[in-house]
A = this chain, B = another copy of it.
């Protein structure tokens, strides 16, 4: 049996409060007494106040939760997620807060339980489909949160980018280069995970909100250019991984009139597309490929993409959580994005 604070108090012959003070408020007792208490504690093997008990009493935990809608092992597959967490961690450390990583099971009930059971003082909600239910659960707990979802309520704290405009910018880049037959590559395009090829008209109710926004942004650009929907194809990747991107892209090989460009909803998918093209031989130079996020590997691969500030997004989210601005209206922060043109995009080849 581990000794408790009480045991220490009895051993030294002082009250529990005094022992507690020795740990948490050194200024409340003589340093001599404090030393005597600490020494006795050491002797007895008392490890200091129990974190859980202390949290209960104090009413706060000292940790912020980061909510993921997927298994962590999957989330970390995307360097963008890692950088986001890194940013959160940075801010959390500055506030002496630890990080509780909470993966949410896919079923609503499980997700609710996970949120209800998470010992945290607040949450950063990363990239969530089916978000509303989760936010409600957090609200019920009366805890603060910051979301990165694409559709915050007016009074929610939020940090994000203009997904649609950003997506628009890459797509417009391709249009300017002359591309007219284009494939959109995204994951969670359909309610069920699937790999393959769709006509754009068949795509409605994209479940993943970010994918939805990005696809919409792509489509906007084509609409603006007065291009026919029929020039668009949608490739659906089973998930947001390089392999899935490659798998989905292979479907292009079977098309009679293949597109001249692949617009991916993330860099991870775009790199996969590049893999698939490379593997199919000479196809590469004829085809433009663009990504989204600008992860480190994008630079190496020469991928044209949209940059969004990953660490900053995480950092800002955590800061918004840990010291909220006075003014509520300052609680929604829009981060800038940049189109980064590299070598994977170019003019349409003459045929």
Contacts and interface: CB of A to CB of B under 8 A. Distances in A.
Contact of A48 (B56, B63, B102, B116): B116
B98 A47 contact: no
The 8 closest A-B CB pairs, nearest first, are: A72-B89, A47-B140, A73-B90, A99-B101, A47-B141, A48-B116, A51-B119, A76-B86
A72 B93 contact: yes
A99 B72 contact: yes
Contacts of A71: 89-90, 93
Interface of A: 2, 45-56, 61-63, 71-73, 76-77, 82-83, 85-87, 89-90, 92-93, 98-103, 113-114, 116-119, 137, 140-142, 297, 300, 311
Nearest to A68: B89
Given A76-B86, A140-B45, A142-B2, A51 B99 contact: no
A56 B52 contact: yes
Contacts of A113: 48
Given A45-B140, A47-B140, A63-B100, 11 more contacts: A47-B141, A52-B52, A56-B56, A71-B89, A73-B86, A89-B101, A98-B100, A98-B103, A99-B101, A297-B297, A297-B300
Nearest to A49: B116
Copies of this chain, how many? 2
A315 to B, nearest CB: 9
Contacts of A49: 116
A266 to B, nearest CB: 16
28 contacts: A2-B141, A2-B142, A47-B116, A47-B137, A47-B142, A51-B116, A51-B118, A52-B55, A52-B119, A53-B56, A54-B117, A72-B86, A72-B90, A72-B92, A72-B99, A73-B87, A73-B89, A76-B82, A76-B83, A76-B85, A89-B101, A93-B103, A98-B114, A98-B118, A99-B100, A100-B100, A119-B119, A297-B297
A151 B48 CA distance: 27
A79 B285 CA distance: 31
A61 to B, nearest CB: 7
Contacts of A51: 116-119
A291 to B, nearest CB: 16
Given A47-B141, A55-B52, A117 B76 contact: no
A49 B73 CA distance: 28
Nearest to A66: B101
A119 B63 contact: yes
Contacts of A87: 73
